């Protein structure tokens, strides 16, 4: 797998004789970085007068829809979109490196003439023609910005806002470990091109529903401490959603809440999903504790400080006991 940089990617986009059109896509349940990167690269292709569409397997989360000012993003429909994936098409895949994370779109991408992956996650699967990978990068959106920088085009305001939101959300508002001096230099340029930090923060974090905040209250109330106060455990059984009139979608950012407690360096959240007996376990850590191996024990994976797993046919209370026991090994 030959690894490319931002300049190489721009070169590929500029010398694309065999390519008639581009499909930009990203992972199931897209986050700010996924949507921000997709709109960022779309805007660049617009400046280059290329035909491009953004087609995602999932719908855009409500709080991110405002970024898509021109309503470009389409949600995948097999009958409508399948025939677009052909020899003359180049697919640009953002913020993931395993085609499984694309759902149904994953298989279709393999029939495209060219596949480009731009991503910052570990352990890429070999399925694309070109990889621009940077695991040091705090977000994929930063990498998209670097491609813009190599081009002769000045950043559009839509791209500046989208890339800013990608960076802000993937760095936990500029506090996660991969936030670098470069991150801030890039953001300075985004502000120069029309991104407004107060407005964008409020659009993402300041539009919660009353029900959503009540759910957060109940979730915080559920926190238990174990292993001498080093492990925080948040418990979200299905009834907590029924009581507050919310769903699992409303738990964005909850997993790291336990890390706000002094002395806690591992926060685990167990969520009972709607389908019977399916549980989601989220792991967040700090102070050099890696959660990835623990997530793998439960059939999942991820980064050192943030990982997750899904457990089928799991009894909530039994899994809770197993998780507490397995976590002990990390201290
Ligand atoms: Mn990302």
Name the DSSP letter for residue 29: S
Beta bridge partners, 55, equal 74
Give the CATH number of domain 210-330.
3.10.310.30
Measured CA to CA, the distance from residue 32 to residue 40 in angstroms comes to 12
State residue 176's pLDDT score.
87
> Beta partners for 24?
54, 92
- pLDDT tens digits along 165-181: 999 999 999 998 899 99
* H or E segment and range at residue 168: helix 157-170
pLDDT at 266: 98
- Please determine, for residue 129, whether its predicted confidence score (pLDDT) is greater than 90: yes
Tell me the average pLDDT of the chain: 95
Q: How far is the CA of 267 from the centre of ligand 1 (A)?
A: 21
pLDDT level of residue 303 (50, 70, 90 thresholds): confident
Provide the whole-model pTM.
Answer: 0.88
Q: What is the CA(139)–ligand 1 centre distance, in A? A: 5
What's the gap in Å between 177 CA and the centre of ligand 1? Answer: 13
3 state SS of 143: helix
**92 CA distance to ligand 1 middle (Å):** 15
What pLDDT, on the 0 to 100 scale, is given for residue 330?
A: 94
| Residue 171: per-residue pLDDT | 95
* pLDDT confidence of residue 275: 74
* Cβ atoms of 268 and 327 closer than 8 Å: yes
Instruction: Please tell me the distance between residue 226's alpha carbon and the centre of ligand 1 in angstroms.
Output: 31
CA distance 94 to 41: 9
Nearest residue to 162 via CA among 49, 43, 71: 43
Residue 249's pLDDT band, with cuts at 50, 70 and 90, is: confident
pLDDT value at 1 more than 80: no
In the reported structure, the alpha carbon of residue 134 is separated from the centroid of ligand 1 by a whole-number distance in angstroms of 11
What is the average pLDDT across 8-12?
98
Ranges for all domains in the chain classified under CATH 3.10.310.30: 210-330
| Residue 101 alpha carbon to ligand 1 centre in Å | 13
How far apart are the CA of 120 and the centre of ligand 1, in A?
Answer: 6
Predicted confidence (pLDDT) per residue in 23-78, tens digit: 999 999 999 999 999 999 999 999 999 999 999 999 999 999 999 999 999 999 99
Confidence band of 282 (pLDDT split at 50, 70, 90): very high
Residue 134 pLDDT greater than 90, yes or no: yes
The string of pLDDT tens digits covering residues 213-237 is 999 999 999 999 999 999 999 999 9
Average pLDDT over residues 132-146: 97
> Where in the sequence of the chain do the CATH 3.90.1640.10 domains occur?
6-205
CA–centroid distance, residue 173 to ligand 1 (Å): 13
If one counts every other C-beta atom within 10 angstroms of the C-beta of residue 77, the result is 10
C-alpha of residue 154 to centroid of ligand 1, in Å: 24
Residue 246 has pLDDT above 90, yes or no: yes
Q: What are phi and psi of 208, to 5 degrees?
A: -70, 160
> What pLDDT is attached to residue 177?
85
How far lies 27's CA from each of 176, 199, 311, in Å? 21, 26, 20
- d(CA 308, ligand 1 centre) in Å: 15
* 65-114 residue pLDDT tens: 999 999 999 999 999 999 999 999 999 999 998 899 999 999 999 999 99
Predicted pLDDT of residue 145: 98
Residue 35 is encoded by which pair of tokens? 């949507």
Residue 126: the pLDDT is 92
Q: How far is the CA of 119 from the centre of ligand 1 (A)?
A: 7
**Which CATH number is associated with domain 6-205?**
3.90.1640.10
Asked if 307 contacts 283 with a C-beta cutoff of 8 angstroms, the reply is: yes
Query: HSE (CB half, 13 Å, CA atoms) of 133?
Result: 17
pLDDT tens digits along 150-207: 999 999 999 999 999 999 999 999 998 899 999 999 999 999 999 999 999 999 999 9
For range 301-321, the mean pLDDT: 91
Q: Which residues contact 118 (CB under 8 A, 6 or more apart)?
A: 9, 37, 41, 92, 93, 94, 95, 132, 140, 143, 144, 147
Residues counted in the chain: 331
Containing 91, the helix (H) or strand (E) segment is: strand 89-94
Main-chain phi, psi angles of 271, to 5 degrees = -115, 130
CA of 140 to the centre of ligand 1 (A): 5
Report CA(38)–ligand 1 centroid distance (Å).
Answer: 11
User: How far away, in angstroms, is 141 Cα from ligand 1 center?
Assistant: 7
């Amino acid at each position: 797998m030959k690894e490319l940089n931002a300049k190489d990617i721009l070169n590929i986009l500029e010398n694309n004789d065999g390519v008639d059109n581009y499909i930009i896509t990203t992972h199931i349940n897209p986050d700010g970085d996924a949507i921000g990167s997709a709109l960022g690269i779309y805007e660049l292709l617009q400046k280059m007068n290329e035909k491009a569409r953004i087609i995602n397997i999932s719908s855009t989360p409500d709080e991110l829809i405002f970024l898509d000012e021109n309503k470009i993003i389409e949600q995948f429909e097999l009958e409508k979109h399948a025939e677009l994936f052909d020899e003359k098409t180049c697919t640009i895949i953002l913020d993931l490196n395993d085609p499984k994370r694309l759902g149904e779109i994953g298989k279709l991408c393999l029939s495209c003439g060219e596949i480009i992956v731009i991503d910052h996650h570990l352990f890429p699967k070999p399925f694309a023609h070109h990889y621009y990978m940077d695991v040091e990068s705090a977000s994929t959106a930063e990498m998209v910005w670097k491609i813009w920088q190599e081009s002769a085009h000045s950043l559009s305001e839509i791209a500046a806002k989208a890339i800013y939101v990608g960076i802000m959300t993937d760095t936990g508002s500029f506090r996660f470990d991969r936030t670098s001096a470069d991150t801030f230099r890039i953001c300075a340029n985004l502000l120069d091109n029309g991104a407004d930090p107060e407005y964008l923060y409020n659009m993402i974090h300041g539009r919660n529903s009353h029900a959503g905040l009540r759910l957060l209250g109940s979730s915080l109330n559920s926190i238990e401490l174990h292993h001498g106060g080093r492990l925080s455990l948040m418990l979200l059984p299905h009834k907590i959603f029924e009581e507050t009139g919310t769903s699992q979608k409303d738990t964005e950012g909850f997993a790291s809440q336990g890390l706000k407690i002094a002395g806690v360096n591992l926060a685990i959240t167990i969520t009972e999903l709607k389908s019977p007996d399916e549980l989601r376990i989220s792991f967040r850590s700090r102070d050099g504790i890696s959660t990835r191996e623990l997530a793998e024990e439960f059939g999942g994976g991820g980064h050192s400080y943030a990982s997750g797993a899904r457990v089928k046919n799991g009894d909530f209370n039994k899994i809770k006991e197993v998780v507490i026991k397995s976590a002990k090994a990390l201290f």
